[in-house]
A and B are shown apart, each in its own frame.
Chain A
Amino acid sequence: MSTNDIDKLLDKFFDAETTLEEEKTLKSYFESGCETKHEKFKAYFEFAHKESLIVYTERKQKPILMNKYFKYASVAALILISATLVFIYNANQKSKEQLRTTENAIRFVCFQVNQAQEEMEPMRLVNSSFKELEKLNELEKTQDILLKQLRIIQNATTN
């Protein structure tokens, strides 16, 4: 292909009027070493060729990032659960202690009441003795009546 043909083809190319076949011709012309006159255009076709060789690289960072977040989340959840368990355990222990203290207090009061009742037992006996003494008073009264009647009888006999 003559230099003139390449010039025309390049003009067509930059006007976007070339066919794919013509574009292939231009590419192979620049790949196989072009004339000095066309050197300035070489970079264009070299760039296009270089870019067409880029291959897909699968990115794996995304799941790693997800795993990292998942790890952090699970550690945080574990700490939270542990803290909650410790809190519940402590609260439970405190209420158990309080229950024990109350039980002891009630037991002490009951013991004191029982002791007091035992101490009150002789007093109850004294109380019942007083009731018995009341009967003695009744006896004295009857004795007095009898003595009065005896005196009356004596006086009557002496007269």
Chain B
Amino acid sequence: MKKDKNIEAIFAIKDKLFRIANRLLGSEIEASDAVQDLYLKILEKRKALDEHPKKEAFAVSTLKNLCIDKLRKKKNSYADDIMLNNVSFSENIEQKMDINAIISKALSELPEKQKLIFQLRDIEGYEYVEICEITGLTVSAVKTNLSRARKLLRDIIINRYKYEYK
């Protein structure tokens, strides 16, 4: 019964897991696949889940690793496509974009750590201690990465605000 409860607890946070995977992978389809892969992995490693003191942190950490693996494979296979996409995204297009799209794009260009920490804190509302458990970083490293991400987004939003109301 205890085992089932643990797995049910992970299934209950599927929306949260999907959002985290989506932030890291930048694709809803790939995020959905990653969540399914996570469930399979957790079912395989039931013992590890049962022994872990914090089930949710264990699941998010496993998901993070799955996403990083997927990103590595993707970068190797589509390195040229990524370069082309970056080149084609000019500033003129950016000015015409909706503010949410601009923030999403800025987030997608952040380093993986900052992206993940922003998602965990500002979207999912995790405590710093939990973020440390998931990422394996110290509290000060988490705060530094979060501050950088927040400030970058703040500057982008203020610039956009100034552009709209000048």
Q: A: which residues have CB within 8 A of B? A: 13-17, 20, 23, 39-41, 43-44, 46-48, 50-52, 54-59, 61-62
Contact: B15 with A40, CB < 8 Å?
A: no
Distance (Å) between the CB of B15 and the closest chain A CB? 5
Known: A39-B161, A47-B103. 6 other contacts (CB 8 A): A16-B147, A17-B143, A41-B154, A55-B18, A57-B18, A62-B33
- CB pair B15–A14 under 8 Å, yes or no, is no
With a CB–CB cut-off of 8 A, which chain B residues contact A58?
A: 32, 36
- The docked-state distance in angstroms from the alpha carbon of A57 to that of B36 is 11
Q: Are A47 and B99 in contact (CB under 8 A)?
A: yes
Chain A nearest Cβ from B108, distance in angstroms:
13
Specify which chain A residues have a CB less than 8 angstroms from the CB of B123 in the assembled complex. 48, 51-52
The smallest C-beta distance from A62 to any residue of chain B, in angstroms, reads 7
Chain B residues within an 8 Å CB radius of A56: 14-15, 17-18, 32, 35
Known contacts A14-B147, A16-B143, A59-B29; A51 and B154 CB within 8 A of each other: no
Tell whether, in the assembled complex, residue B19 and residue A51 are in contact, meaning their CB atoms are under 8 Å apart: yes
B100 at the interface (CB under 8 A from A): yes
Name the distance in Å between B12's Cβ and chain A's nearest Cβ.
Answer: 11
B interface with A by C-beta (< 8 Å): 14-15, 17-19, 22, 28-29, 32-33, 35-36, 99-100, 103, 121-125, 127, 142-144, 146-147, 150-151, 153-154, 157-158, 160-162
CB within 8 A of B18: which of A14, A43, A54, A61? A54
25 CB-based A-B contacts, threshold 8 Å: A13-B150, A14-B147, A14-B151, A15-B143, A15-B147, A16-B143, A16-B144, A16-B150, A20-B127, A23-B125, A40-B158, A41-B154, A43-B100, A46-B100, A47-B99, A47-B100, A47-B103, A48-B123, A51-B19, A52-B123, A54-B18, A56-B15, A56-B17, A56-B35, A59-B29
Given A43-B103, A43-B157, A44-B154, are A16 and B146 neighbors across the interface (CB < 8 Å)?
A: yes
Q: Which of B33, B100, B127, B160 contacts A59 (CB 8 A)?
A: B33
Inter-subunit contact A54/B22 (CB<8 Å): yes
Q: Which residues of B contact A41 (CB under 8 A)?
A: 154, 157
B100: which A residues are within 8 A, CB to CB? 43, 46-47, 50
> Taking the nearest CB of chain B, how far is it from the CB of A59, in angstroms?
4
Contacts of B35 in A (CB 8 A): 56
Pairwise interchain contact A40-B124, C-beta atoms closer than 8 A: no
Measured CA separation A59–B39 after assembly (Å): 14
When distances are taken between beta carbons in the complex, the residues of chain B under 8 Å from A13 are 150
Residues of A within 8 A of B32 (CB): 56-59
